[in-house]
A and B are shown apart, each in its own frame.
Chain A
Amino acid sequence: MAQTQDLRRRIKSVENTRQITKTMEMVATSKLKRARQRVVAARPYAEALAEVLADLHGAELVEQFPLLRQPQSLRRVAVIAITSNRGLCGSFNANLIRETRDRIAELEDAGTAVELHQIGRKGIAYFRFTGRAMASARPDIGDRPTPEQADELVTPLMERFAAGELDAVEVVFARFVSPLSTPATLLPVLPIRPPTRGGKDGRMEGRKQRSNVPSARHSTANYILRPSAKDLLSAILPLYVRNQLFRALVETAASEQGARRTAMKSATDNAGEMIDTLRRTYNRARQAQITQEIAEIVGGAEAQAG
């Protein structure tokens, strides 16, 4: 009797949990849809910048730009690590934190000073717990990162790189390959490795959906440039750096929703399985109880008759 009561209570409780995870799955699905649109919408700008940089970039210009400076050795590196603000998305944040931690360890083993700029509550909580000092912590960047936020984050670092205070700036983010595949990725932002002509700039080759903006390939030699190529480059290089970070933020936001949807879907499936098992056990217990009661009645009746 007590056992069936217990089972009934557990079934109810798992059903409630399943209701919640199912709802979260649906919320994540709709947020994912919008986040994904933002990833796609941000593509033409990145492609345009990459193309133009590839056109303008020439070896003879490299030495003139502090942002293109290739340091001989790494003395001080800034790592911008992006995580989400919320949990319940499987191993999403754990993967990002591990990538960050590994990279920091690798750099520090090589004798490089590392300053950590952490974005997202989950990462901040982790590094605070382990007692690692963070140069900056931003828990305020949400589901819809803006280009302005990317500027705020990267512009001071860009200035310090140009001044020679930093030798490299790297970003750890969750690349949005598909909602099911969001690998934690290390992206070197500075020094800039200029994209080469042909669109291979590491990560921006338009994967599935190529934008329909016509490609405007042309050699630099025939352009009328105003002001000079040098001035154009010095204006466009910072745009490129900012956009790299903006894209990392946007992709991570989309990846988070993808990871959450997957996590919540498997939680819902698991709850369903659990309910099935519990229900089977419950029915068996109920049946056993009835059988026993009948046996008792029959036994009692026979005793009376006898």
Chain B
Amino acid sequence: MRLTVISPERAVFDGDVDAVVAPAYDGEVGILPRHAPFMTLLGSGRLTIRSGGETRTVWVEGGFLQVVNDVVRVVAEHAREETDHAS
């Protein structure tokens, strides 16, 4: 499953992942591979990305999330990768 996280300034993340947990406007949503086409608004919070054994988090706020054809697109108004000591 391909994931791209995009902010107005740049693409923050782009790569293959196993699972994504995103902060939607009304609570968290988990996306696994082969998810149905889906679109929702984002709230603010941590976007958790799992690929292989690794977990990364990106702070996102605003924007939306879209899933189509096994491609997840997180288009956030604000997005920045969290540094290790912060998480």
Contacts and interface: CB of A to CB of B under 8 A. Distances in A.
Interface string B14-55: 100000000011100000000011111100000000000000
Nearest to A46: B8
B9 interface: yes
A306 interface: no
Contact of B38 (A147, A224, A246): A224
A231 B39 CA distance: 11
A44 interface: yes
Contact of A218 (B41, B68, B78): B68
Contacts of B10: 38, 41-42, 44
Given A44-B11, A45-B8, A52-B64, A213 B73 contact: yes
Interface residues of A, number: 31
Interface stretch (A232-240, A254-262, A268-276): A232-240
Nearest to A146: B9
A166 B62 CA distance: 26
Interface centre among A41, A216, A232 (most CB of B within 10 A): A216
B80 interface: no
Max chain A Cβ within 10 angstroms of own Cβ: one of B26, B36, B77: B77
A226 B24 contact: yes
Contact of B75 (A41, A42, A49, A242): A49
A239 B77 contact: yes
A213 to B, nearest CB: 5
Contact of B68 (A213, A217, A231, A239): A217
Contacts of B63: 239
B39 A216 contact: no
B37 A223 contact: yes
A52 B66 CA distance: 9
A216 B73 CA distance: 9
B6 A222 contact: no
A45 B40 contact: no
A235 B41 contact: yes
Interface in A172-200: none
B57 to A, nearest CB: 20
A217 B73 CA distance: 12
A295 interface: no
A243 B8 contact: yes
B25 to A, nearest CB: 8
Nearest to A213: B4
A227 interface: yes
Nearest to B29: A226
A41 B38 contact: no
A119 to B, nearest CB: 18
A246 B77 CA distance: 12
Given A218-B37, A224-B39, A41 B11 contact: yes
Interface of A: 38, 41-42, 44-45, 48-49, 52, 146-147, 211-214, 216-218, 222-227, 231-232, 235-236, 239, 242-243, 246
**Closest 8 pairs (CB-CB, A-B):** A41-B10, A216-B68, A147-B8, A226-B40, A218-B68, A224-B38, A48-B75, A45-B6
Given A42-B10, A45-B8, 12 more contacts: A38-B9, A38-B10, A48-B73, A213-B14, A216-B69, A216-B73, A217-B68, A218-B68, A223-B38, A224-B36, A224-B38, A226-B38
18 contacts: A38-B10, A41-B11, A42-B8, A42-B9, A45-B7, A45-B75, A52-B39, A52-B75, A147-B8, A211-B11, A213-B6, A223-B39, A224-B36, A227-B25, A227-B40, A232-B40, A239-B63, A243-B8
